[in-house]
């Protein structure tokens, strides 16, 4: 379809060579010599783009721009002017112009502006797909090599980059190829964790930075020269952080952004307690039994995070003034934002924010949320929309205004499950879809990562013959009874507790106010 251009300039006759040049490129150009005619033509014809001279007799280009935008706000308008006065630029930009050109303009400048405004989406799509095709081969070779713990973090960062890049373009041709490569990466990563995890936690091999030592190794040193706010956003995946980072970047410079490893199970009861305690779960259960809740205990399994952090700070020799706040609903978030100034006297402020975790659970249980977050892209998008309008956004902005450093992290991520795996267990077996703990579990060993003796993984042992098994990749456990019902109900929901790139590899970010 031929692109229609409106060009308004009181010296339009002098621009005839430019118009002929555009017509030779296949564009259809309508020319007028004043702003009133430009406004009238815009009402009668749907133009793809408008070039508007700023200084014309009668109504000015800026006045014409305002009227054009009032009638058709989405038509791109390129302002052309002899003036370089700042106030004219600001007013034009304030009216949402697509481009701003200073006279004299040459045909190639006009052509570039057209391509930037009309063809950029197609050109970006072509370039992105082409770049990923090249990267696909390089990533494939990496996945076929023996990656170490740091290389896996790097591969995951690359996958997140390409996933968000490919979903932002018009041409979705490479997205299916990417999904296949990501699935292969998750399969390889699950084998990597299965082969190395027990060696890491038992000190047989050097381990990556894991969540139970994150406070000691990363956050504790910050307390020497700053009074940070630590935001623990439950269930925040690295890709979700990358979508939130532009908002944070309005207020902060990102000083350090890295991927660290959660522990197994990648579930709040285990991972977040380990983060606050600075200990593995079985160590918490032995050292502070009053603060540990087993799988079959009623109520919250994370009701002693503040007490566990207190023990951690004391072991680290930190005699400081600090606060802990857990936000589980909108009103609590608003109240904390309203009372923000009361936190500024503290040497450390820790805020646990539970929205993302609630979103993943709501998506499983509520049809409307399933539809709103139907896929990975929508899941990321709804997270961004929540944050932009949340009290946490206000808190983050106030941190920057008060000159306080912010650390953002989480306890584990979540994965979209699609492949059911049958398992049989006793009635006392826990209900989590990504890991099971209990006695006499029956399953196909090649489909899971099994820990026969929980103590080998520093997990509490609930019975003499209890064991842990973890789902891998995008699998989820289903009992044979009512199998089809539960496959349909839980398929394509976001779950956590097992082994996947999305659950295990989590963000740790240090931000300094601008």
For residue 372, what pLDDT band results from cuts at 50, 70 and 90?
A: low
CB 330 within 8 A of CB 391: yes
Confidence check: pLDDT of 183 > 80: yes
Highest mean pLDDT among 5-19, 80-94, 392-406, 451-465: 392-406
For residue 417, what pLDDT band results from cuts at 50, 70 and 90?
A: very high
**Which residue in 265, 318, 222 sits closest to 511, CA to CA?**
222
Question: Which whole-number Å values give the CA distances from 232 to 211, 355, 398, in the listed order?
Answer: 12, 11, 17
254 DSSP assignment: E
pLDDT of residue 96: 76
299-303 contacts at long range (C-beta below 8 A, 24 or more positions apart): 301/268, 301/269, 301/273, 302/268, 302/269, 302/272, 302/273
**Which residue in 399, 405, 383 sits closest to 336, CA to CA?**
399
* pLDDT tens-digit map of 299-314: 788 899 999 999 999 9
Q: What is the 3-state secondary structure (H, E, C) of 22-56?
A: HHHCCCEEEEECCHHHHHHHHHHCCCCEEEEECCC
pLDDT of residue 325: 97
Domain map (residue ranges) of the chain: 4-105, 121-200, 209-415+502-513, 416-495
> What is the enclosing helix (H) or strand (E) of 4?
strand 4-8
**Bond from prior residue into 387 cis (ω within 30 degrees of 0):** no
Which residue would you say has higher pLDDT here, 38 or 355? Answer: 38
Strand order from edge to edge, sheet including 28-32: 28-32, 4-8, 49-53, 77-81, 99-102
Residue 353 tokens read as 């924010």
> What is the enclosing helix (H) or strand (E) of 337?
helix 330-338
H-type alpha helices, 366-450: 367-372, 376-388, 391-401
pLDDT of residue 364: 59
Question: Which whole-number Å values give the CA distances from 352 to 232, 279, 290, 324, 411, in the listed order?
Answer: 5, 18, 21, 8, 10
The third-level CATH classification (topology) of the domain covering 4-105 is Rossmann fold (3.40.50)
pLDDT of residue 435: 96
* pLDDT tens-digit map of 136-152: 888 988 998 899 999 99
Which residue would you say has higher pLDDT here, 103 or 122? Answer: 103
> What is the enclosing helix (H) or strand (E) of 68?
helix 61-71
Q: What is the 3-state secondary structure (H, E, C) of 92-151?
A: HHHCCCCEEEECCCCHHHHHHHHHHHHHHHHHHHHHHHHHHHHHHHHHHHHHCCCCCHHH
pLDDT of residue 428: 78
pTM, rounded to two decimals: 0.84
Question: Which whole-number Å values give the CA distances from 410 to 73, 115, 207, 256, in the listed order?
Answer: 41, 42, 19, 15
- Taking the C-alpha atoms of residue 437 and residue 417, their distance in angstroms, rounded to an integer, is 19
């Amino acid at each position: 379809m031929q692109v229609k251009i409106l060009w308004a300039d009181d010296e339009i006759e002098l621009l005839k060579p430019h118009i002929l040049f555009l017509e030779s490129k296949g564009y259809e150009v309508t020319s007028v010599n004043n702003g009133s005619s430009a406004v009238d033509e815009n009402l009668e014809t749907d133009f793809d783009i408008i070039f508007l001279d700023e200084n014309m007799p009668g109504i000015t280009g800026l006045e014409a721009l305002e009227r054009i935008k009032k009638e058709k706000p989405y038509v791109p308008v390129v302002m052309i002017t002899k003036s370089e006065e700042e106030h004219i630029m600001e007013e034009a930009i304030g009216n949402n112009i697509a481009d701003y050109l200073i006279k004299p303009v040459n045909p190639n400048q006009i052509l570039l502006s057209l391509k930037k405004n009309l063809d950029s989406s197609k050109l970006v799509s072509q370039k992105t797909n082409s770049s990923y095709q090249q990267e696909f081969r390089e990533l494939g070779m990496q996945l076929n090599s023996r990656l170490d713990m740091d290389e896996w973090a790097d591969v995951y960062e690359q996958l997140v980059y390409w996933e968000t890049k490919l979903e932002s373009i018009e041409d979705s041709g490479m997205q299916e190829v990417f999904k296949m490569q990501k699935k292969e990466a998750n399969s390889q990563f699950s084998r990597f964790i299965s082969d190395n995890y027990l060696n890491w936690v038992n000190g047989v091999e050097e381990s990556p930075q894991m969540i139970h030592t994150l406070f000691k190794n990363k956050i504790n040193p910050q307390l020497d020269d700053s009074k940070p706010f630590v935001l623990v956003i439950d269930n925040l995946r690295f890709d979700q952080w990358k979508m939130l980072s532009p908002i944070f970047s309005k207020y902060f410079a990102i000083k350090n952004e890295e991927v660290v490893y959660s522990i197994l199970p990648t579930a709040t009861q285990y991972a977040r307690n380990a983060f606050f305690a600075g200990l593995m779960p079985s160590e918490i259960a032995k050292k502070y039994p009053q603060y540990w809740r087993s799988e079959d205990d009623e109520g919250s399994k994370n009701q002693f995070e503040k007490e566990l952090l207190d023990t951690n700070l004391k072991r680290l020799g930190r005699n400081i003034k600090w606060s802990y706040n857990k936000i589980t609903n909108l009103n609590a978030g608003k109240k904390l934002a309203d009372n923000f100034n009361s936190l500024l006297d503290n040497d450390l402020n820790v805020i646990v924010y539970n929205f993302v975790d609630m979103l993943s659970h709501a998506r499983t249980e509520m049809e409307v949320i399933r539809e709103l977050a139907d896929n990975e892209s929508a899941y990321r998008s709804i997270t961004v929309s929540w944050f932009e309008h949340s009290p946490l956004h206000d808190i983050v902005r106030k941190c920057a205004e008060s000159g306080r450093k912010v650390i953002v992290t989480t306890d584990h991520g979540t994965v979209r499950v699609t492949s059911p795996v049958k398992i049989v267990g006793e009635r006392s077996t826990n209900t989590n879809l990504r890991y099971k703990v209990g006695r006499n579990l029956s399953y196909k060993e090649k489909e899971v990562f099994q820990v026969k003796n929980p103590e080998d993984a520093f997990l509490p042992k609930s019975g003499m013959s209890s064991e842990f098994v973890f789902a891998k990749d995008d699998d989820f456990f289903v009992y044979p009874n009512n199998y089809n019902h539960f496959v349909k109900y839980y398929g394509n929901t976001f779950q956590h507790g097992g082994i996947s790139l999305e659950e295990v590899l989590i963000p740790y970010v240090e931000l300094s106010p601008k």
